[in-house]
Amino acid sequence: MLPVDIDKLLNELLYQPKAPIIFSSAIFLYLFVGFFAIYLLILKKQKLRILFLTIFSVYFYYKSSGWYFLLLLLLTFSDFNLARWMGKTDQKSVRIFLLISSLTLNLGLLAYFKYTNFIFASFYELINKPFDPFAIFLPVGISFFTFQSLSYTIDVYRRNILPLKNITEYAFYLTFFPQMVAGPIVRAADFIPQIFKTPFLNKQDFGKAIFLISSGLFKKAVISDYISLNFVDRIFDAPALYTGFENLMGVYGYALQIYCDFSGYSDMAIGIALLLGYKLNINFDSPYQSASITEFWRRWHISLSTWLRDYLYISLGGNRKGKIRTYINLLITMLLGGLWHGAALRFIVWGALHGVMLAIEKLMKSIITIPQNKITKIVGIVLTFHFVCFSWIFFRAADMQTVGAVLTQIFTAFHPEIIGEYIVGYPLVSLLMLTGFVMHFTSRNTEQKVENLVIRSPFILKLVYLSLIIFLVIQIKSSEIQPFIYFQF
C-alpha cells in the first residue's frame, strides 16, 4: 500500500472531472514549474523539445477533458495526412475531395458534440413531444482546435502554405497547450515557422510575459470570478427578485466578467507562450472602447473574427457581389458565429443582432458621412457599449424567458433610489467593477507605460509582482475551481 500522500499525488495527476486544469489552478502552477525546468534544459535540442512540449500539451488536454484527448490525436493524425496528400497532388478534384474530408471530419465532430441535443430537441418541440437529452460530454476547447486544424487544411488547399512532413511537428502546432483549449486560434502560417527556430527569451519578452500573466490572472481570478459568484450569477439566476437597477448592474457586470475572463485567459496564454519562446497574436484590444460594432469585432476575439472573415465571409463572396449580397453574407457569418458559441436560440439571436447591426453600419456608411471628432467618438462608444451589453443578455441568460425577465425588470421596475443600498450591499463587487472598467478604458499610452515599468523592473521585482497577484487570488478565490467561460464553447 502506497503512503496516503503519494496516493493523493498520483490521484492529482489524473483527470479530475470536477476540477479540470486551468491556468489559475494550483496544480497547473506545480506542473508548469516542473515542466519549465526540464524545458530549459532541452531548449536547444529541437526534436526533443518539440516532442517533450507536445507530450506535455497532450497531457494538459487530458487533465482538461480526460480520455477525449484521443479525439485530439485523431484530428492530428487525419488532418496531417489529408494535408500531406493534398500537397502531393495537382488534381483539383482530388484536392477538393481531401478538403471536403477534412471539413466533414472536423465539422462533423463539432456538430455531434455541440448540436446533437439541440437538433433533436428542436425536432421534438416541433412535433410537441418531450425529449430526454443524450448524455454527450462537450470536450473542452473542441470549437477552437477544430477551427485551428481546419485553417491548416484550408490554407494547404489554397496553397498559402506547404504541408508539414513530420506528424510530430503538426501535433506540436495543433496541441500547443497555452492556447489549445480557449484560443487564441493560431494560424499555421504565423506559428509553424517558429517551431524550427531555437526559442529565445530576452529581458523585454520575459518582462512582457510576466506583465501579461499577472494582468490576465488578476482579470480572470480576481475580477471576473468574484463578481460572477457574488453578484452576476445571482441576478441571472433569478432576475425577478431584483430591481431593474440591479439587473442593469448585472448586465454591466457580465459585460465586464466575460471580457476579464476571456481576455484574461488570452493574456495568460500569450504570456506563457512567450515564456516558452513563442509569440502569439493579440486576441483583445480594449473592445469596449469601440465606436461602432464593426470596430468592436476588430477588437473582440480577434482570432475568431478574422477566422470567420477569411474562411467564411470571404468564401461566401464577401463584398465582391453587390451590396445586398454583402449584407446577407454578414448576417450569415454572424449567425454561424453565434451558433459556434452555443447550440441554443439565444446564441443565434445574439449572432443575428450583431449581423444586422454590421449590415446597418455598412449601409449607413454608404449613405452619410459622420464627422470624426471627440463628441461623435464618445457618442459612438456609449451607443456601441450599450448595444453590446444588450446583446450579452441573450448570451448569458439560461433561456429566452430569463432574457424577458431581465428586460422587464430594467424597463418597468428600475428603482434608482436603491443605488446607495446597492453600493453598501455589494462594496467589493462595486469596487472591482469600477476597477475593471477603469483598467479597460485606460488609454493605450498609460497601459504601455505600466507594461514598460514591469519590463524594466529587476528580475526579483517581477517575481514580486506575480507573487502579489497570486496571493491576492488565494485571498478572495472560492473553494471551487471556476473554469473559463469559453471552455464550454
| Statement: residue 28 has pLDDT above 80 | yes
According to the model, what pLDDT value does residue 486 have?
Answer: 62
Work out the end-to-end distance of the chain between its first and last CA atoms, rounded to an integer number of angstroms: 41
Confidence at 418, pLDDT banded by 50, 70, 90: very high
Mean pLDDT of the chain, nearest integer: 88
Cα–Cα distance, 309 to 316 (Å, whole number) = 10
**Statement to judge: residues 119 and 210 lie in one domain:** no
Pair 115, 184 in one domain: yes
Give the tens place of pLDDT for each residue, 354-408: 999 999 998 888 888 777 888 899 999 999 999 999 999 999 998 899 999 999 9
Q: Is residue 54 part of a domain?
A: yes
63: exposed, middle or buried (C-beta count within 10 Å: 0-12, 13-18, 19+)? buried
- Asked if 216 and 328 sit in the same domain, the reply is yes
**What pLDDT, on a 0 to 100 scale, did the predictor assign at position 1?**
44
Write down which residue in 165, 195, 225 finishes a domain.
195
Residue 19 has pLDDT above 50, yes or no: yes
Residues annotated catalytic, as ranges: 341
pLDDT at 2 over 50: no
Say if residue 272 is in the same domain as residue 172: no
* Same domain, residue pair 117 and 239: no
Mark whether 185 and 244 lie in a shared domain.
Answer: no
Render pLDDT for 432-472 as a digit per residue (tens, 0 to 9). Answer: 999 999 999 988 888 888 888 888 888 888 888 878 887 77
Same domain, 336 and 363: yes
At 1, list the grid cell: 500500500
Residues 6 or more apart whose Cβ sits within 8 Å of residue 419: 245
> Does one domain contain both 319 and 401?
yes
Residues of the chain with pLDDT > 70: what percent? 96
**Whole-number pLDDT of residue 392:** 96
Q: Note the pLDDT of residue 484.
A: 63
Domain membership flag for residue 8: no
Q: What is the mean pLDDT of residues 2-28?
A: 72
pLDDT tens profile 215-272: 898 898 889 989 999 999 999 999 999 999 999 999 999 999 999 999 998 999 999 9
At 199-220, the pLDDT tens digits run: 888 888 888 898 898 889 889 8
Long-range contacts of 82-88, Cβ-Cβ distance < 8 Å, separation of 24 or more = 82/153, 83/152, 83/153, 83/156, 83/163, 83/164, 83/170, 84/163, 84/164, 84/165, 86/153, 86/156, 86/157, 86/163, 87/156, 87/162, 87/163
Is 3 within the bounds of a domain?
no
- For residues 29 and 261, the model is more confident at 261
Same domain, 265 and 393: yes
Cα–Cα nearest to 239, from 253, 250, 227: 250
Last residue of a domain, one of 195, 222, 237: 195
Which residue, 270, 181, 277, 183, is CA-closest to 451?
A: 270
Is the pLDDT reported for residue 479 higher than 80?
no
Q: Is residue 214 located within the same domain as residue 242? A: yes
Which of 292, 314, 424, 415 lies closest to 360 in space, CA to CA? 292
Q: Using 50, 70 and 90 to split pLDDT, how confident is the model at 485?
A: low
In a domain, 1, yes or no: no
- Helix ranges restricted to H, 342-458: 345-367, 374-396, 400-412, 419-425, 427-440, 444-456
- 369 with 436, same domain: the answer is yes
Indicate the number of domains in the chain.
2
228 within domain boundaries: yes
Q: What is the mean pLDDT of residues 90-117?
A: 92
- Inside any domain, residue 5: no
Which domain, by its residues, includes 364?
A: 203-488
Per-residue pLDDT at 12 = 73
In a domain, 57, yes or no: yes
Instruction: Tell me, yes or no, whether 315 and 367 share the same domain.
Output: yes
Residue that terminates a domain, selected from 195, 211, 238: 195
Percent pLDDT > 90 in the chain is: 49
Contacts 24+ apart (CB under 8 A), 322-328: 323/363, 323/366, 326/359, 326/362, 327/359, 327/362, 327/363
Task: Report if residue 385 sits inside a domain.
Answer: yes
